[in-house]
Structure 1
Amino acid sequence: MPVLVDATSIPPNRGGVARYIAGLLQGLAEQDTSVDVVVKPADLDWLRTTAPGHRYRAAPGWTASRPLRLVWEQVGLPAAARRVGARVLHSPHYTFPVIRASRTVVTLHDATFFSDPAAHSRLKVAFFRTWTRLARRLARGTVAPSAATVRELDRLAGAARRPTVVAHLGVDRDLFRAPTPAETAAFRAAHDLGDDDWIAFLGTVEPRKRVPQLIAAHRALRAGDGPEPPTLLVAGGLGWDDAARRELTAAGDEPGAPLRYLGYLPIDELRAFLGGARVVVYPSTAEGFGLPVLEAMASGADVLTTDRLAIPEIGGDAVTYTEPDAGPIAEALAALLADAPSVRAERVERARRRAAGFTWAACAAVHLGVYA
């Protein structure tokens, strides 16, 4: 069946939905399926290289503006679908052309705009609630990355035209695997870490990720009577958590400091950042899937996270769970740091085995069923 995937929602940092779009296209190629893809000109070469085997077409250059892209989505995208003869359009990030809804599959990544509105700006809550409801009522099919997200959508987002289908995301095994000693050494050298260990956080710094609580937990361990914890390294974009922004901006990236903000890391550094850490901490209160948890598991990390929403679907019994407050985080982190190497190794191996079950080919197979 001819399918057009709209990849114009890829953000400039190529995180978030970009990982999903690229992974899905890789998985479709593994399923011997080629589709048409429309993409902003700035992302054309990157996506063609990352996920070869598909037919790529450039959207107008002015779609680099988000408001103009949303206008083009309603007018230009249906025309693009007609030009390529697509029977199905896949809109992979909430919004879609309303006039083509009956032939469109829409991905709804999480339900936190309903269940945890305080974690987002008022504008984002209003915007994404509206489009989520429209997708569930008008689109031919909807896809979500976890059963937890589907349950929340069914509970909070109103009636759906058809049941939302669960398609767990995958992990790129070439990018996210245990780092070699040379890769870890190169990461240490690039960031002036010397022989120091580190604790890692990876993700957009926003209120639901509880970064201020993680910083407070780390500070408490440093002030306590126990062994001094490793340096806390935070990587990812500064979102709209003002408290975290102040802490991280003040800390900067000073070698030897107990807290360092690394900003965005090149994707090829992530496996060393995650797999080389003593512990990866991801104390989020709400996730539609929790891709950083899966990527850390695949990279050979010892993971401390929460049991909120979708995360237990990903982590199972291969990660450690805590409440997302400073005291419990500090207690759980201290316990993990004190574990014997053999205990940690067993946990890490269990996480690797579990992560291997999440593949983009399996994700793509579910999507093909929805397309059909």
Structure 2
Amino acid sequence: MRIALNARILQSPRTGIGHYVAELASALVTEQGLELSLFHGWGWSPELPAAAMPGYSRLAPWLRQIPGAYQARRWLEQRRFDQGQHEAIDLYHEPSLWPLEFEGPTVMTLHDLTHLHYPSTQPPARLKEIERRLGAGVEQARLILTDSQFIADEAQDYFGLPRDRFVVAPLGVAPRFHPREHTELEYSLAAHGLQPQGYFLCVGTLEPRKNLSQALQAHELLPPALRQRYPLLIVGMAGWEQGQFSDTLQKALASGHVRLLGYLPDEQVAQLVAGARALIFPSLYEGFGLPVLEAMASGTPVVVTRRSAMPEVAGVAGNYVEPGDVLGLNNTLLRLIDDEPHWQACREAGLQQAGLFSWRHCAQITARTYRQAIGG
């Protein structure tokens, strides 16, 4: 069974969907009777790229400004996709929003419906393409994979499709996310002037949907001595129209108790996650919430909102806060600082919860879905 997997997103620095493609492709290699052929946008390869295309982060914003850039790239990718099919492809898997045209069976992954709830997080040209193509892509797909039951239910209602068109394949956690001894972290954390368990962490693309302002305000309410002892670190790429909370962020950065580290290599992120006192993830909407799972697997307690798919991921291990409840989040942070038995209980519960997820299991469900789609 030869599967064409669209891996074009790996041209860019890896965030959520990029990590999904890379980890899933690596896990699918162990599935018997399955051969992957990866389409990289310009050609085909059986291998994952080791890194993003050089200069992509600088080039992509300029390309967005060119009228018709999305349509032109789409046309070129379709031509390259068609020309590269030297051997018969049994099934095409599109891991993002809209599949390329393919005459055989198609499976797509629908991670979320962010463009419906938070259209301002998308560049206008991209949003227009999503609105124009997503419906047709969903119709093209014989089966639709989702990361969570929440998204499966939401998409079923929105598109009016039968339940049996959707398959839930929860994501997994990469091996680099695991508990680490303090001695293993001291050197890397010292480069940032940090100590293990001596800071709070936010991870994710900087955009209003992530509700970063609530984390900033709750951290600001900590007593000055605690803000100094437990600074707030923010790791992630700049998102579209992040200026909606730039004033709050700029004030927090000026205080010296909040640090914006930007996009970091995977191993550095894993070390920062393992060394944090807690991950603060007060997002308003998630199709899964991969940083939550990664933090739990690292032995780091998580603070999340009881919204969208996050309860499916955090389970009983989550410290839940309501969106907009700054005081409630502040009290949660204080407890994670002061109440050591509670911190230890959150750590153990998180490790147990994370053990329920794996890329191996995700790959098994995905391969089973391929076979079902091919079978008709």
Q: Does 1:10 align with 2:10?
A: yes
**1:191: how far off?**
1.1
CA contact under 8 A between 1:73 and 1:96: conserved in structure 2? no
| Corresponding residue number in structure 2 for 1:267 | 266
TM-score (norm 1): 0.85
| Corresponding residue number in structure 2 for 1:332 | 332
TM-score (norm 2): 0.84
1:147 corresponds to which of 149, 166, 169? 149
CA contact under 8 A between 1:237 and 1:264: conserved in structure 2? yes
Cα pair distance change 1:142/1:170, threshold 3 Å: same
Cα pair distance change 1:146/1:3, threshold 3 Å: same
- AA of the residue aligned to 1:354: Q
CA contact under 8 A between 2:91 and 2:104: conserved in structure 1? no
1:112-153 CA-partner distances (Å, limit 9, x unpaired): 222444554554444334433222212222211111001111
Matches within 5 A, 1:1-372: 1-32=1-32, 33-39=34-40, 47=48, 67=70, 68-80=72-84, 82-98=85-101, 100=102, 102-117=104-119, 119-159=121-161, 163-173=165-175, 175-193=176-194, 197-222=198-223, 230-239=230-239, 240-248=241-249, 257-325=256-324, 326-339=326-339, 341-372=340-371
Cα pair distance change 1:322/1:13, threshold 3 Å: same
**1:318: how far off?**
1.0
1:340-369 CA-partner distances (Å, limit 9, x unpaired): x23211221111121122111111111112
Distance 1:150 1:287 in 2: 13
Cα pair distance change 1:368/1:312, threshold 3 Å: same
Cα pair distance change 1:35/1:299, threshold 3 Å: same
SS of the residue 2:107 aligns to: strand
SS of the residue 1:191 aligns to: coil
| Corresponding residue number in structure 1 for 2:54 | none
CA contact under 8 A between 1:8 and 1:39: conserved in structure 2? yes
1:4-48 CA-partner distances (Å, limit 9, x unpaired): 111012252122211001110121123344311122579979825
Cα pair distance change 1:145/1:201, threshold 3 Å: same
Give unpaired runs (5+ residues) of structure 1: 51-62
Cα pair distance change 1:162/1:134, threshold 3 Å: farther
SS of the residue 1:305 aligns to: strand
Distance 2:17 2:44 in 1: 13
1:28-79 CA-partner distances (Å, limit 9, x unpaired): 12334431112257997982559xxxxxxxxxxxx98673542233322133
- AA of the residue aligned to 2:366: H
> Once structures 1 and 2 are overlaid, which stretch shifts more, 120-129 or 2-11?
120-129
Distance 1:347 1:262 in 2: 26
SS of the residue 2:201 aligns to: strand
CA contact under 8 A between 1:202 and 1:282: conserved in structure 2? yes
CA contact under 8 A between 1:114 and 1:156: conserved in structure 2? no
Cα pair distance change 1:188/1:358, threshold 3 Å: same
1:222-273 CA-partner distances (Å, limit 9, x unpaired): 46x9886610111101112214344445665x9x921110111221112221
- AA of the residue aligned to 1:8: R
SS of the residue 2:38 aligns to: strand
CA contact under 8 A between 1:74 and 1:96: conserved in structure 2? no
Cα pair distance change 1:155/1:130, threshold 3 Å: farther
- AA of the residue aligned to 2:16: G
SS of the residue 1:47 aligns to: coil
SS of the residue 2:10 aligns to: coil
- AA of the residue aligned to 1:113: H
Give the aligned length.
353
1:180-201 CA-partner distances (Å, limit 9, x unpaired): 3233212222212268810000
CA contact under 8 A between 1:78 and 1:97: conserved in structure 2? no
Amino-acid identity (%): 29
> Once structures 1 and 2 are overlaid, which stretch shifts more, 237-246 or 259-268?
237-246
Distance 1:210 1:355 in 2: 24
